[in-house]
């Protein structure tokens, strides 16, 4: 755990050198959310009803902006190869990169949700469930997205391939993340979609780091 914490802090320091990137990510997230009222009108009831779906679509599209950078820079400058042959287990470094990616990209999006909540006039009960679903679901974006980033290392037009690989896998996150908040509107319990989302997170935590290490080793062969 001490090694993992150190690697996470190391990745965070590297990311914080480009703190402007996080600001751009948050601004892009807010911009997507602001475009919907311009396109469908300013009806308060309609905006409130579609708010959970809008926020989740914005979160997924925003996450795609930074996925390519998880391993690409290390791959291009040769440091990824040094990481692989180092005595430190590769899966530990991969887990640290996933965690740092979520702290730099996913967590700021959760903090930005209240701004969108005010714009869309989201009720408190819906808003609280939306934050819970974002807290469970956004780490999945980093895990699955990081796995996709490792699979396209060294590929031509990697950004396009990454989107084709990752976006279909994130559709269940969108569905269950939105359903948890929508359940309040419909008078149902939000527990089933939240439990399914939690199960997806546990599965991603169990599978993504190990498959990512295999993909990295294969890319360096």
Q: What is the pLDDT of residues 5-64, one digit of tens each?
A: 767 777 777 666 666 677 888 899 999 988 888 877 767 788 888 888 999 999 999 988
Per residue in 116-135, pLDDT tens?
A: 888 888 888 888 888 999 99
Domain boundaries of the chain, sorted by first residue: 2-219
Per residue in 165-213, pLDDT tens?
A: 899 999 999 999 999 888 888 888 889 999 999 999 999 999 999 999 9
Cα–Cα distance between 85 and 207 in angstroms, integer?
A: 22
pLDDT in the model for residue 168: 92
pLDDT in the model for residue 153: 84
Q: Quick one: tokens of 48?
A: 């409130």
Per residue in 95-107, pLDDT tens?
A: 888 988 898 888 9
Contact 63, 106 (CB under 8 A): yes
**pTM for the model:** 0.88
Is the dihedral angle over the CA atoms 166, 40, 186, 126 positive or is it negative? positive
């Amino acid at each position: 755990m001490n090694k993992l914490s150190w690697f996470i802090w190391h990745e965070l320091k590297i990311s914080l050198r480009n703190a402007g990137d996080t600001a751009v990510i948050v601004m892009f997230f807010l911009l997507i959310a602001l475009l919907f009222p311009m396109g469908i009108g300013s009806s308060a009831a309609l905006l409130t009803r579609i708010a959970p779906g809008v926020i989740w679509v914005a979160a997924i599209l925003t996450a795609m902006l930074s996925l390519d950078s998880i391993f690409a820079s290390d791959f291009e400058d040769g440091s990824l190869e040094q990481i692989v042959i180092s005595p430190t287990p590769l899966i530990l470094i991969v887990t640290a990169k996933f965690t740092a990616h979520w702290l730099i990209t996913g967590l700021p999006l959760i903090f930005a949700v209240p701004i969108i909540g005010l714009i869309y006039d989201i009720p408190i009960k819906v808003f609280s469930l939306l934050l819970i679903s974002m807290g469970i679901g956004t780490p999945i974006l980093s895990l699955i997205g990081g796995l996709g980033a490792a699979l396209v290392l060294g590929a031509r037009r990697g950004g396009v391939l990454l989107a084709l690989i990752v976006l279909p896998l994130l559709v269940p996150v969108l569905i269950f993340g939105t359903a948890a908040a929508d359940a309040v509107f419909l008078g149902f319990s939000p527990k089933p979609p939240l439990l399914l989302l939690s199960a997806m997170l546990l599965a991603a935590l169990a599978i993504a780091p190990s498959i990512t290490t295999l993909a990295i080793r294969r890319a360096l062969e």
